[in-house]
Structure 1
Amino acid sequence: MLNVATQYAIQGTTAKGIAASVERGVTEGELAPGDALPPVRRLADELGVSPGTVATAYKELRGRGLVVTRGRGGTVVAEAPSVASRRPPRVPEGLVDLASGLPDPAFLPVLRPPAEVRPVYGSHRAAPRLAALEELTRAWFRRDGVPAERVTFAHGALDCVARILSVELRPGDAVAVEDPGFHHLLDLVPALGLRTVPVAVDGEGVTPDALRAALRAGVRAVVLSPRAQTPTGASFSAARRDELGALLGGFPDVLVVEDHYFAGFDGPPVPTLGALGPARWAQVRTVSKRLGVDLRWAGLAGDEVTLARHDGRMLMTSGWISHLLQETVVGLLSDPEVIRLVARGEAAYAERRGALIGALGARGVRAAGAEGLNVWVPVRDESAVVNGLRTHGWWVAAGARFRIAAPPAVRITAATLLPEAAERLAADFAGVLGDAQATYGG
């Protein structure tokens, strides 16, 4: 059943004015997801404009991801309007926060910016990247077999992906994204005026059947994660990587973007599509989960055309990544003690995820989370579980933020959850599920 927007009066005498009025209503919360906009002819009569003017306004809003059209159901505000990212609700006071998706600060290094930075004449546009960080970045990619003759930098994964998609695609083009997936990416794609095509994920990442269907449907780009996929923790096996690579080989014009946000600094190589050298590809690696959220830096490898277009757009806007930041990252990546600290963190995260998954499994609750910081737990009613756990002092994330067509679930950040606490949480979780089953009739 649609919600009818009866309180907000849309205004405007031009298509742009009407579209701006609707956007204002969404931004200010007067128009909520699912609210129905007036039919074209009725709004045209109310505003004293032609139906074509209203239709043009609605078309612009659809192209920007603010509204969707549901046939006879009319035009409604999108579930995740692209004027703002789907921010998590505030953690209620007194609850244990297991919804953040953030690492344990105990395994993050203390950031020490360089003690001395000489002033420069002019800008860094002629030499935007520090040679020392370029070499460290190349080595980081090469450890996983990713070609790294050409690398560049960005302000983070989303900054990088947004720039690549905006220079490569045109409004209305389709992009395949993981479902469930990274919630900020699910908001970013429609915000760029692009269409989102969800592809299913299992324990080894994107499924071949789902990717095949998306490619045949005409997607122009694919964005996926080779390791610790958000929110399920899935990671490519070598076999899955090869199967996906073979599929993509039949579509050489499709841009393949890998968000390798959880790339390690040590350990065995991780299978990635970048190592197969697709015709059009880019892989972005960030350090915020390993070294701290203040390090808004990303390394990017890819084909020559993609990197050139990325850098061309960047030079026209922000220009370069702060050399202060680059010097800081060089120092951290060159510090053996920092690398050991990160390795201890990864071992702790594996232990904590395993403890929670095991404790839930012992109570008949299935959960996923092979790698990363989170555990993904399928449920029937997200709200019932979130609110039920809240009464026991736990705060977890409803899965609706992370999915499009995927079944409901909740995401639990296990990064700071010690094994003894995992037992208590699992017992409470099973109890909440039992209460919900009794309440909703099994």
Structure 2
Amino acid sequence: MGAGDLEPGRPLPPMRELAARLGVNPNTVAAAYRMLRERGVIETAGRRGSRVRPAPATTGRDHIRADVPEGVRDLSSGDPDPALLPPLARVLADAAAEGDRAPVLYGQDPVEPALARLVRAELDADGVPDGPLAVVSGALDGVERVLAAHLRPGDAVAVEDPGWSRTLDLVPALGLRTVPVGVDDDGPRPEEVRRALAAGARALIVTDRAQNPTGAAVSAPRARALRSVLREHPETLLIEDDHGHGVVDVPLHPLAGATAHWALVRSAAKAYGPDLRLAVLTGDAVTVDRVRGRQRLGPGWVSRLLQRAVVRLRTGGAVDPAAVAAAYGRRRDALIRALAGHGIAAHGRSGMNVWVPVPDETGAVARLLHAGWAVAPGARFRISAPPGIRITVSTLAEEETGPLAQAVAAAVEAGPLRSYV
């Protein structure tokens, strides 16, 4: 394998056959196969035997997109509305001036005390169990660090399907296996979570609100059902992504505490801008200690300057969370109503995206692009879920809603895209 003679997907000989060929004890081959499986080099599928795993993706799903020509309205990005983001220059300057009076040196607390107090009060208000805090470089950085703190290559992770494309890329890139779990407007379906955990998934990743791409938000009844499932599997590593904090108008119903090891991460990206690269993570003591310990051996800490800037943004009224949530809500609801008027069901309970199930997403994306609208193909977000398209409504103007809905209806009703090759 190290020489590259065995290509990804190549089946391996049965263990007894290989042992006979090499003249070694079958137990030796079994131990080697087990080690390769644990390291994520091979995968075993019951009676179908073992085979070399595909190489982890480095480019990921970002290539699954339609190029946006000049003059086409781009609703495919997933970005927040720049008009709803605060200007950062003055805030960063003020935070830097504050730091000049007390510079941060090596060996100091990696978490800004003012940020810790602010975040802990917010988490308490949302019913998140008490736990230590860590500051990481964005939500995905936090998810990666928690997975690495507990899992080994070859372990299975239950992920939302459809779900955030970066998460779907990250899990296999770490040598882990994805197990898809279906999602509806209220979050992951409990029966599918139960099935995934019973089949051996060691971790579950849940988006609490503003799920990308469907806009799902975990409701109170769904949270109770999911906590019940998790209590049946208390060894499960639970990771909650609450990136919608500050831009959604639905309450948080956390699952944290239903298992021994858990983490909840909140990013500043959607409310204050992706370039801040900052998220706060809490969890059980063992998980957070492992995350912070590994962080010390790499970047050390996330800039306390950025942490102070986030404190100023949150306490200085730079963003009105209710107004931002209402703006995104109006745009989502308007598009969903307009689509319903054409007989098309769409999903978008929270956040800045609308998910539209379609029979032929390639054809729908191509026809919409031809009509002047760029949307994201559902293949970027799916494993085994039915096809769909994601429309980012963060910058959608009121007068655009009707024409867009009409264009979506025409693209869907046209049927599968024909090939004339």
User: Please, what TM-score do these two structures have when normalized by structure 1?
Assistant: 0.82
In structure 1, what is the equivalent of residue 148 of structure 2?
166
- CA drift of 1:436 comes to 2.1
* Aligned counterpart in structure 1 of residue 107 of structure 2, from 125, 147, 169: 125
What value does the CA root-mean-square deviation take over the aligned residues? 3.2
Identity level (%): 44
Residues 74 and 303 (structure 1 numbering): CA distance in 2 closer, same or farther, change over 3 Å? Answer: closer
In structure 1, what is the equivalent of residue 309 of structure 2?
328
**Superposed CA offset, 1:23-47 (max 9, x none):** xxxxxxxxxxxxx867779xxxxxx
Tell me whether 1:16 sits opposite 2:5 in the alignment: no
Q: What is the 5 A alignment of 1:356-371?
A: 356-371=335-350
Contact 2:271 2:319 in 1 (8 A): no
The one-letter code of the counterpart of 1:82 is A
Cα distance in 2 for partners of 1:37, 1:438 equals 31
4+ runs deviating over 3 angstroms: 36-41, 59-78, 119-126, 265-269, 437-440
In structure 1, what is the equivalent of residue 135 of structure 2?
153
User: Please, what TM-score do these two structures have when normalized by structure 2?
Assistant: 0.86
- CA drift of 1:147 comes to 2.1
Cα distance in 1 for partners of 2:248, 2:45 equals 48
**Superposed CA offset, 1:322-351 (max 9, x none):** 111111111101112x232x3322111100
- Structure 1 residue runs without a partner (length 5+): 1-14, 23-35, 42-49
The one-letter code of the counterpart of 1:272 is P
**Superposed CA offset, 1:6-64 (max 9, x none):** xxxxxxxxx32318x96xxxxxxxxxxxxx867779xxxxxxxx9x9xxx99x969965
In structure 2, what is the equivalent of residue 95 of structure 1?
72
Q: What is the 5 A alignment of 1:396-407?
A: 396-407=375-386
- CA drift of 1:353 comes to 0.4
- Please state whether the residue corresponding to 2:197 is helix, strand or coil: helix
* Aligned counterpart in structure 2 of residue 302 of structure 1, from 273, 283, 296: 283
- Please state whether the residue corresponding to 1:87 is helix, strand or coil: helix
In structure 1, what is the equivalent of residue 120 of structure 2?
138
The one-letter code of the counterpart of 2:81 is D
- CA drift of 1:268 comes to 6.6
Contact 1:124 1:320 in 2 (8 A): no
* Aligned counterpart in structure 2 of residue 313 of structure 1, from 294, 304, 309: 294
**Superposed CA offset, 1:329-384 (max 9, x none):** 11101112x232x3322111100000111111100111000101100000111110
- CA drift of 1:419 comes to 2.3
Cα distance in 1 for partners of 2:149, 2:129 equals 22
Cα distance in 1 for partners of 2:232, 2:282 equals 22
Judge which range, 113-122 or 357-366, deviates more. 113-122
Residues 83 and 309 (structure 1 numbering): CA distance in 2 closer, same or farther, change over 3 Å? Answer: same
* Aligned counterpart in structure 1 of residue 388 of structure 2, from 397, 409, 412: 409
* Aligned counterpart in structure 1 of residue 57 of structure 2, from 82, 93, 101: 82
In structure 1, what is the equivalent of residue 16 of structure 2?
none
* Aligned counterpart in structure 2 of residue 190 of structure 1, from 135, 149, 172: 172
Residues 211 and 266 (structure 1 numbering): CA distance in 2 closer, same or farther, change over 3 Å? Answer: closer
Cα distance in 2 for partners of 1:302, 1:437 equals 47
Cα distance in 2 for partners of 1:325, 1:380 equals 45
In structure 1, what is the equivalent of residue 215 of structure 2?
233
The one-letter code of the counterpart of 2:149 is V
- Structure 2 residue runs without a partner (length 5+): 14-21, 25-31
Residues 91 and 254 (structure 1 numbering): CA distance in 2 closer, same or farther, change over 3 Å? Answer: same
Contact 1:353 1:373 in 2 (8 A): yes
- Please state whether the residue corresponding to 1:18 is helix, strand or coil: coil
- CA drift of 1:433 comes to 1.7
The one-letter code of the counterpart of 1:207 is R
* Aligned counterpart in structure 2 of residue 222 of structure 1, from 204, 210, 220: 204
Contact 2:235 2:259 in 1 (8 A): no
